[in-house]
A and B are shown apart, each in its own frame.
Chain A
């Protein structure tokens, strides 16, 4: 190439060809031109193909009646009431968010337990946690979902021989059927009482912190908050005359009717996603804890803290800084992996929208683009908040 050490020409006199700036512009313009050309040709091909194939385009389908039903829905949706494709999209989106949100909660709890368990001094616990992580991480999620779906379904009796659990809960291969709560009008009071109690608990917490800093006296924060949050609404609930009744499931011809039903597809997906992601979270947690230098633990021990408080007050707060970024990406993975629902028939966004709606409308471009946009939005919003959080955490560092 041009620039050899013996190149003794004066700067500025070199040929324009070798000017890094000019070259930079040239490369960028060339790349932009190529990408632009690719996008343009893809778009023009798509337009031409769509026209040739007489496929409708645009988002007009959004308000057309959908004409199909979905079993699990968080908002009213049925073919008989003329629900639209737009509502089908919402049903799918909410189902995705539901399973992702619950999955994140369970995966976090399980993941932290397993992660700490792997570092436990207890030999049995450490080995079991290791086996769990190794097995789960090395098997495809799809296989695990098949396993859970069949493990959840297979052993359960059919609907006519449901397992009857206390509290009118029934268990069969159609899922779990629970009494569904029916809220009376006075129930709002209870909700308000609950919110007040939460606020009070937070206020108490802050006060107790201050007191501890000042006097060193410790209060039983946890217990008192719990009593506030649970007790107050409960008392109010009885005072306003128990504005809550239950719709109990009844044995119908095929299945139990009434009550509310938790579908086995949902259970399988939730269990599968939680256990799978938990194994990855466990590794994140373990790495985070190992990243806290041993001196910290030893210093805490030297101060006379027992292992519980050491973990709670010294190790975890420091480990969290290492844990949070990869933890977030695991949360995102879980959300994205929830799209595997399509394999076991859980009506998530991909199953309802990219599956059924795409097929009924034939508008692949619009439907796939919307689906991708949804996941992309979730990812970008999450990483936006992550960046803010990271900045705040970074300030604490010295």
Chain B
């Protein structure tokens, strides 16, 4: 009997511990009391979010999480990464399990409304593409009539695929799998003629194939896939912090502030740069952070261009060209509102 009593006490105590830790309101306050940002990332997509053998995460989406941690804690390592499959990601965000989602998530109207989410920007302009075997001799997605296509279920990919073949009046067979691993395995084993996902994902998944050079990515981009960080409805301050952490990365690149020169920039006379690094104005405090928030981001993580090159661009295995993701000044779409 007494043992039961003790056990009950123990259970009650753990529950109380678990519950008592986060009684404040507001995501930022919670994060500060927890001591880390909880960031939902992909289960492993090279270039965007993948852990190495020691469990250290890296990637473009991961850098965004780190920059938020840098802005809040001045320490980019204060991020807890929660790998989420595409099926779990929204419930995880909605339930408060993660503070934000930064994992190749497409911004759509229905996600904004019926799922109760807010997209804080677009950190990668993507589009859905197809990968096929070279030996099939297909050079255009329009020649895929009658093909069977492997895709991952629960994604916009599945819907775009249906739309594309419907619009072009082509027949096809869809084979949908629960995880990207199963999908790419089925494609490799010959179950499907084509593999479809966001084209950035195609490059990353291709690295998993036995002989990546046997496969080509078709030129057609069949959809708009603006991928970006997501937060849930109801906390505008947190939404602003995520939004501006990303905008700071972009602005830094535009202003020519890099990890290497950011300390010199502290002495800059350029008013835009002064506002950026926090030597003028109180923009950080308006966000609920410190005024050197943007400086911390660049100092500890780098600007958007650096992050891009390091993770998916020329400095990585993926070697994806900037394309749409170049700054607007260089013919791309990345355009951040000014800090002022």
Residues of chain A at the chain B interface (Cβ within 8 Å) = 49, 52-56, 67-71, 78-80, 150, 153-154, 158-159, 173-174, 252-255, 257, 261, 263-265, 342-345, 347, 351, 355-356, 358-362, 364
Known: A174-B191, A253-B145, A355-B87. A80 touches B162 (CB 8 A): yes
B residues within 8 A CB of A159? Answer: 193
Residue from the list B144, B190, B234 in contact with A173, Cβ < 8 A: B190
CB within 8 Å of A: which of B190-237? 190-191, 193, 232-234
8 A–B contact pairs at CB < 8 A? A54-B234, A55-B116, A78-B162, A150-B189, A263-B175, A355-B154, A360-B154, A360-B159
The answer on a CB contact under 8 Å between A154 and B163 is: no
Residue from the list A56, A71, A254, A347 in contact with B147, Cβ < 8 A: A254
The answer on a CB contact under 8 Å between A355 and B153 is: yes
The answer on a CB contact under 8 Å between A53 and B186 is: no
Cβ of B125 under 8 Å from chain A? no
CA separation between A209 and B253, bound complex, in Å?
92
Question: In the complex, what's the smallest C-beta–C-beta distance from B135 to chain A, in angstroms?
Answer: 10
CA separation between A174 and B177, bound complex, in Å?
15
A residues within 8 A CB of B115? Answer: 54-55, 362
Residue from the list B114, B173, B182 in contact with A362, Cβ < 8 A: B114
B143 closest partner in A (C-beta): A253
CA separation between A54 and B182, bound complex, in Å?
32
The answer on a CB contact under 8 Å between A359 and B153 is: yes
The answer on a CB contact under 8 Å between A359 and B86 is: yes
Produce 1/0 per residue, B152-188, CB < 8 A to A.
Answer: 0111001101110010000111111110001000100
Cβ of B94 under 8 Å from chain A? yes
Residue from the list A79, A173, A358, A361 in contact with B166, Cβ < 8 A: A79
B residues within 8 A CB of A355? Answer: 87, 153-154, 176, 178
A residues within 8 A CB of B166? Answer: 79-80
CA separation between A139 and B146, bound complex, in Å?
38
CA separation between A173 and B190, bound complex, in Å?
7
CA separation between A252 and B145, bound complex, in Å?
9
CA separation between A263 and B182, bound complex, in Å?
17
Cβ of B290 under 8 Å from chain A? no
The answer on a CB contact under 8 Å between B153 and A351 is: yes
Question: In the complex, what's the smallest C-beta–C-beta distance from A261 to chain B, in angstroms?
Answer: 8
Residue from the list A69, A345, A358 in contact with B186, Cβ < 8 A: A345
CA separation between A52 and B25, bound complex, in Å?
13
Produce 1/0 per residue, B129-147, CB < 8 A to A.
Answer: 0000000100000011111
The answer on a CB contact under 8 Å between A356 and B234 is: no
Question: In the complex, what's the smallest C-beta–C-beta distance from A42 to chain B, in angstroms?
Answer: 14
Question: In the complex, what's the smallest C-beta–C-beta distance from B209 to chain A, in angstroms?
Answer: 16
The answer on a CB contact under 8 Å between B178 and A68 is: no
Produce 1/0 per residue, B46-89, CB < 8 A to A.
Answer: 00000000000000000000000000000000000000001100
A residues within 8 A CB of B90? Answer: 359, 362
Query: 20 more A-B contacts (CB under 8 A) besides A71-B174, A173-B189, A342-B178?
Result: A49-B94, A53-B232, A54-B114, A55-B116, A70-B174, A70-B176, A71-B148, A79-B162, A154-B189, A173-B190, A174-B191, A253-B147, A254-B148, A255-B148, A265-B175, A351-B153, A356-B158, A362-B90, A362-B114, A364-B91
